Amino acid sequence: MPTYEYRCLTPSKRGCRKQFELVRKVGERDEPALCPKCGSLSERQLSTPALAFRGNGFYVTDSRDSSTKSKNSGDTPQKPHHTED
């Protein structure tokens, strides 16, 4: 289940305006949540997703085009392995 950010709707003059995160089902994301500090309603905030790209293939220089093929991609037949009986 994804994590969503919420902000308390209590006006700043009276209280908390606390920002917090909740793990919820996708279908429940837009429903108001209760603030953990003051118990009033809160609304979902739009935020950037937390993504981490690791490994090869995420840069232009790491991607393969159709003209570049691996040696073991099946283009050349493999030599059979001989075992002695």
- pLDDT digit string, tens, across residues 36-49: 888 888 988 987 77
Coil, helix or strand for 72? Answer: coil
3-state DSSP assignment of residue 60 = helix
Q: How confident is the model at residue 60, as a pLDDT?
A: 62
Domain membership flag for residue 17? yes
| Number of structural domains the chain divides into | 1
pLDDT per residue as tens digits for the range 70-82: 555 555 556 666 6
The answer to whether residue 84 is domain-embedded is: no
Residue 52, pLDDT > 60, answer: yes
Query: In terms of pTM, does the model score above 0.85?
Result: no
Please check whether residue 66 lies inside any domain of the structure: no
Q: Is residue 40 part of a domain?
A: yes
